[in-house]
Amino acid sequence: MNGAAHARLILLRHGESEANAANRFTGSADPALTANGRGQADAVARQLLDRGIRPARIFRSTLRRCADTTAIVTAVTGSQDVPVIANLALNERDYGALTGLNKAEAADRYGVEQVLRWRRSYADAPPDGESLRDTAARVLAYHIHVMLPAIMQGGATLVVAHGNSLRALAMALDGIDALGVETFDIPTAGAILYEFAATTAILDRAIIS
């Protein structure tokens, strides 16, 4: 790694939001964190600090629950001066017509099995919304093109995002398939730490014909 600091990646889901607490489909809605969610963000930041992790750079979604979680983490870890890059590619899966609906009421209306498929399957898209596969397409393009080269610069890269945008990313990083992802979930303020071995940055690109 040309002497650069050991490369680490931390995927962090935002703390509990007002919509999470009300058991509502959130998607691209923009609720604030609850007091509990702020406490969760504070607690996970302290755990990162206990492991000697101070982010060198942060990628986050454009939504408020990730902005607020990021602000808490940077305050606790003393990293307010690190670059924070916000991008729509990391936003939560668009839940379409389900956005704002109570999840229990949706199960009554559409059936438990259907709602579970919309929430956890790879390929089923909710009405007017994105499937996890749709979400993965944008998240992975952003990861390969923007985040991975930054990660390989070394130090700790923190990604603050959402239940489904992070499920999509973890599928690629952990090698989880379409069936396996149905039971894979990250709790609010849950974090996954990856250690990287070597650079995978693209130095040049040429079309050969």
Ligand X SMILES: O=C(O)[C@@H](CO)OP(=O)(O)O
**Footprint on this chain of ligand X (rule: CB under 6 A):** 20, 25-27, 92, 95, 119, 163-164
Contact assessment for residue 75 and residue 61, using Cβ atoms and an 8 Å cutoff:
no
Q: Rounded to an integer, what distance in angstroms lies between the CA atom of residue 155 and that of residue 79?
A: 13
Q: Which positions ≥6 away from 83 have C-beta within 8 Å?
A: 57, 58
Q: Rounded to an integer, what distance in angstroms lies between the CA atom of residue 108 and that of residue 25?
A: 14
Point out the residues that are catalytic.
14, 92
Q: Rounded to an integer, what distance in angstroms lies between the CA atom of residue 168 and that of residue 176?
A: 9
Q: How many other CB atoms are found less than 10 A from the CB of residue 174?
A: 12
**Smallest distance, Å, CB 109 to ligand X?**
15
**Smallest distance, Å, CB 178 to ligand X?**
16
Identify which of residues 77 and 188 has a Cβ nearer to ligand X in the complex. 188
Identify which of residues 25 and 77 has a Cβ nearer to ligand X in the complex. 25
**Smallest distance, Å, CB 163 to ligand X?**
4
Identify which of residues 8 and 119 has a Cβ nearer to ligand X in the complex. 119
